[in-house]
Amino acid sequence: MCELLGLSYAKPISPAFALRQFGPRCERNPHGWGLAWYPDRALALVKEPVKWTDSKLSGFLATYAGLQAPIYVGHLREKSTGGTPTFADTHPFKREWAGRDYCFAHNGTLHRVTDLPLGRFQPVGQTDSEHAFCHLLEAVANRGTHLDAEADWIWLHGQLSAINALGKLNCLLSDGLRLFAYHDQAGWKGLAHRKALAAPGRSGFLVSSRPLGTGRWCSFQFGELAVFERGKLLFSHSRVASCRSC
């Protein structure tokens, strides 16, 4: 089914507390793993087309005290189509536009993805996910502005809804400043968030396909886009729901 993990905190933190619970989910998602983070405005990305528990890199990252960032995007892959897993097809994906590194990870299957036009951003691999990301970032570039304000987030929701019309779409997107999380409009699989303490004085939000451990988890509404910045939930397209008070 693939698994998504997102973290948004006000200050840099270690992701170890979340990775300890996220990594073992590779038993059902053995075809690759990836972890992206923003140590500053630039994106760092490590991924492999192997099972999380078969990788020495994943074990290192899960215990490395020097790994500190305010935003993380993680993915465990269960491929739905294609042949042998490759680095190119492993999530998350990265592209730069107008001085910002964008990161994207997807859970679901999109059909007729070639119906989505491309431009300056082209896929390296063969996945529907990377094609959708390239299409989305081209739309951002053509619009000519980053996703910095509520009007931009409402526009982004419309773009994701249009992509979602081609199939199943749960996804995480980041520009290094914010974490954007979108849940499939038909409610496929799941997506939830909760406020969590990573270290004394370091609170923020976790986003996961399924709840990690205990605590008050809030399920996303169908078709909801939530925007997290510096450990706060700034915006939800589903204003009434989504546990805005979490």
Give percent helix, percent strand, percent coil of the chain, each to the nearest 5.
25, 35, 45
Cβ neighbors of 118 (< 8 A, separation 6 or more) are 131, 134, 135, 138
* Residue/partner pairs of 147-151 with CB below 8 Å, 24 or more apart: 147/175, 147/178, 147/180, 148/177, 150/235
Of 2, 103, 134, 171, the active-site residue reads 2
Helix axis angle for 128-143 and 150-164, nearest 10°, is 140
Burial-class residue 135 by CB neighbours within 10 Å (0-12, 13-18, 19+).
buried
Cα 215 to Cα 194: distance, rounded to the nearest angstrom: 7
The Cα-based distances of 13 to 43, 57, 77 in angstroms read 15, 19, 24
Query: Which residues, 6+ apart, have CB-to-CB distance to 145 below 8 Å?
Result: 152
For residue 2, indicate whether it is catalytic: yes
Question: Are residues 78 and 30 in contact, defined by beta-carbon separation less than 8 angstroms?
Answer: yes
Give the span between the Cα atoms of 231 and 40, in whole angstroms: 16
The answer to whether 26 and 51 are in contact (CB under 8 A) is: yes
Residues identified as active-site: 2
